[in-house]
Amino acid sequence: MSKKASIIGGGVIGGGWAARFLLNGWDVAVFDPDPQSQRKIGEVIDNARRSLPSLYDRRLPDEGTLTFTDDLAEAVSGADWVQESVPERLDLKHKVLADLTKFAPETTVIGSSTSGFKPSELTAKGARVIVAHPFNPVYLLPLIELVGDAGETARAAEVLRTVGMYPLTVRKEIDAHIADRFLEAVWREALWLVKDGVATTEEIDEAIRMGFGLRWAQMGLFETYRVAGGEAGMKHFMAQFGPALEWPWTKLMDVPEFTEELVDLIAGQSDDQSGHMSIRELERLRDDNLVGMMRALKKSGSGAGGVIGTHEATLALPEGGELPVTVDRQIPQTWTDYNGHMNETHYLEAASLATDRFMELIGADADYIASGKSFFTAETHIRNLDELKAGERIVVRTQLLKAEGKKMHLFHFIEDGEGKLAATMETLQLHVDLTSRRTCDPEPAVAAKLAEIAKAQEGLPFPDGAGRFVGQKRA
């Protein structure tokens, strides 16, 4: 049975929440009096459809149903999760949260997206709510800061993990929680640098994205400084740079006067820096870059990449009948080239993922490889039969042509989401002892599983294109 999320207040954050739940198979009901809410949320969801599935090597669940309503009670009826994302005005939040507490089922988690208010402030008039503070874009960035009742935050954390998010429970309530306190500190110092003519908005952005921003994305603050301390470690780093705290280098306790002149200066420099691109173009550039970085982190299991890998492991591949489904996913932007379609490198990657999955099916999984045995690729042949483009679904089905001694001969059918054949990849795999780096027979359990699959598929026709060579004329 589908779960239901109710999003109260659209906009960028509410739309991001809607997209996160919707693309993970939840039904979503949106309440927002803004007459433009459907358009705005629709644009956010379009961005999410383009980017979120690209993080994964497995297909996300089928989308839930999206509805809009102007009746708050209807919006939250039967909801498993309610997320309030109205403007940061405490009086408005009190009013909305009182209604949500009244109308939502008692078992429903009610979260507030507030970036600054504490739970004690939100619940001062009796509302049942916790802080569930996200980061934009909510459909891509996994962090959610949870603050409030221990039982409710624990329940919320369980739900958030099922939609690929990283719940961070804040130990004590404090204004702006954790992350936004850092952001405000950096923001204050940046305003001073611009006001004093030390740097432009572009130069400040370059200082972040060309340097410490890249380090922070994968190691955070303290682990970065631990590495900076070298072999002597964190104590050495603290001893070396601790005295700088008394100089100081920054103006974090001071705030520049927020004048029209400062606003105009920053806005003008920002226009010079990025005014040639629309907000939608900037959002898509941001999302494409985030997907690329997060997929890189996924390979090492670092930071946000570890969250993606954990969530991906819960996404089951569908049953494929006689031909097992070994890949089912969306084609990411990074798999396309200057011709606007999937590059041959990534046809090979898709087939390689299919081979990996087939190995898991026969018992040659991570534990088997760790024991010192695996398969090496000896030969491949790809046929490109049709175009595949970013955002399209790709499904790979695998036929075992032969399993004989050390050899495993596979044929991958690469199809689009409608089942149309787009490419094939034939591969010969050799079983190898990883210690000697020489071929050897597979372990009995793996050999038995190969024999079982070969028996199950023996009635299948020999695939068209199998055994072909480059340049061979078609019959």
pLDDT tens across 435-456, in order?
Answer: 999 999 999 999 999 999 999 9
Are 156 and 145 in contact, with CB atoms under 8 Å apart? no
**Residue-level pLDDT at 117:** 97
**Residue-level pLDDT at 320:** 63
Q: Which residues, in sequence order, are bridge partners of residue 425?
A: 382, 412
CA atoms within 13 A on the CB side of 438: 2
CA distance 368 to 356: 12
Structure tokens at 98: 């009182």
**Residue-level pLDDT at 121:** 98
Distance linking the first and last C-alpha atoms of the chain: 50
pLDDT confidence of 64, banded at 50, 70, 90? Answer: very high
What is the pTM assigned to this prediction?
0.88
**Residue-level pLDDT at 384:** 93
pLDDT tens across 237-286, in order?
Answer: 788 777 766 766 677 667 788 889 988 998 899 899 988 989 889 999 99
Q: DSSP string of 116-165?
A: S--HHHHTTTS---EEEE--SSTTT--EEEEES-HHHHHHHHHHHHHTT-
Are 288 and 362 in contact, with CB atoms under 8 Å apart? no
**Residue-level pLDDT at 237:** 79
For the segment 226-243, the average pLDDT, to the nearest whole number, is: 80
CA distance 205 to 264: 18
Average predicted confidence (pLDDT) for the chain: 93
Q: Which domains does the chain have, with CATH numbers?
A: 4-176 (3.40.50.720), 180-276 (1.10.1040.10), 325-456 (3.10.129.10)
